[in-house]
Amino acid sequence: CGSSSDGGNGGSGGDGLTMGFAQVGAESGWRSANTTSIRETAKKDGVDLKFSDAQQKQENQIKAIRSYIQQKVDVIAFSPVVETGWDAVLQEAKRAKIPVILTDRAVDSDDDSLYVTFLGSDFVEEGEKAGQWLVDNAQDADVDKNGDVNVVELQGTTGAAPAIDRKKGFEDVTSSDDAIKIIASQTGDFTRDGGKKVMEAFLQSHDDIDVVYAHNDDMGLGAIEAIEAAGKKPGTDIKIITVDAVKDGMTALSEGKINFIVECNPLLGPQLMELAKKVVAGEDVPKRVVTEETTFTQDQAKQVLADRQY
Ligand code: GYE
């Protein structure tokens, strides 16, 4: 990017570029940070951004993409709410010669000519990191010391890439330890309210829960509310592992209510605009761009919390 510090247009070559962005929704802290990053970078880079919020509904995203095709934008970017069912609308974009960039979530399609590149995290790896922490801390996580580490899982949105992959990565790693058992698994739709409701039901039907594995911070935070309402201490009586590392999650981690968080970086705006400019200029871009991420323990969260921007 240019070194201009006035935040105005012109420094970065995005002038005149029009991008249609079809966002998933506003379901989580991660999503809000992602939207802010995309909006702010577009403004800074002089990209004319058309933005829509699909409220977690695929049909709304398809409508938004169709309207961007009609408006003849230079490039379409979107974060597919679920993995399947995109071929028809992506064919339409291809026929109109409008390049499509996937951000954050992937599509499941046999035809990879339907998008130019996919920018986002490796969700399987995130699930593996969550699982590895549990394998490494299995004895401690067996809170009732009965030899079984009973896990309940709060899944993300059914059919979404991060829900499918975070489940898979976690299972792949934890299956190596016979003591670890996933005794219940249900979707909380990536929302705080969803996590709370599902956790309330889990607590009613199981009295031997040792660990909650939530596919994002928000559902973990909802689970904390349910656990406290049931008179138990989150992080102590029931261990909690989540993914994202947004500020509210990191706060709970530093307070000892969550035990481990796998980071998922929502600040995709700068990389997305860079890719968009190249794609529109006809330059080659890699088919897959993976974002870099880390993990946080309670002590690490205490150290970085004050500087956490989102
Ligand atoms: O982890 C969750 C959000 O797709 C990576 O979506 C994203 C996920 C994120 O709702 O909080």
263-276 pLDDT tens trace = 999 999 999 999 99
C-alpha span between 262 and 293 (Å, rounded): 8
Residues with CB under 6 A from ligand 1: 27-28, 30-31, 104-105, 162, 190, 216, 218, 243-244, 264
Nearest-CA residue for ligand 1 atom 8 is 162
Q: What is the mean pLDDT of the chain?
A: 95
Share of the chain above pLDDT 70, in %: 95
Q: So what's the ipTM on this one? A: 0.98
pLDDT at 245 over 70: yes
pLDDT at 2 over 80: no
Q: Cβ atoms within 10 A of the Cβ of 145, count? A: 8
Spacing, Cα 195 to ligand 1 middle (Å)? 14
Spacing, Cα 307 to ligand 1 middle (Å)? 21
Entry pTM: 0.94
Report which ligand 1 atom has the smallest distance to the Cα of 190: 10
pLDDT for position 144: 84
pLDDT at 237 over 80: yes
What are the pLDDT digits (tens) for 153-172?
999 999 999 999 999 999 99
pLDDT band of 7, cuts 50, 70, 90: very low
What are the pLDDT digits (tens) for 19-29?
999 999 999 99
pLDDT for position 143: 86
Query: What are the φ/ψ torsions at residue 167 (nearest 5 degrees)?
Result: -65, -50
* Burial group, residue 137, by CB count within 10 angstroms (0-12, 13-18, 19+): middle
pLDDT for position 33: 97
pLDDT for position 5: 36
100-103 and 117-120 strand pairing: parallel
DSSP β-bridge partners for residue 211:
151, 239
pLDDT at 3 over 60: no
Least confident window among 14-23, 193-202, 264-273, 279-288: 14-23
Residue type, 17: L
Report, as an integer, the average pLDDT of 196-207.
98
Report, as an integer, the average pLDDT of 112-140.
97
Ligand 1 pocket mutation pick from 61, 166, 187, 190 by most atoms within 8 angstroms of CB:
190
C-alpha span between 240 and 257 (Å, rounded): 7
C-alpha span between 226 and 242 (Å, rounded): 16
pLDDT for position 14: 66
**DSSP H/E element including 228:** helix 217-229
What are the pLDDT digits (tens) for 49-100?
999 999 999 999 999 999 999 999 999 999 999 999 999 999 999 999 999 9
pLDDT for position 12: 53
pLDDT for position 49: 98
pLDDT at 127 over 80: yes
Report which ligand 1 atom has the smallest distance to the Cα of 121: 5
C-alpha span between 56 and 60 (Å, rounded): 8
Ligand 1 pocket mutation pick from 23, 27, 28 by most atoms within 8 angstroms of CB:
28
Place of tokens 């309670």: 298
pLDDT at 189 over 80: yes
pLDDT at 191 over 70: yes
Spacing, Cα 216 to ligand 1 middle (Å)? 7
pLDDT for position 68: 98
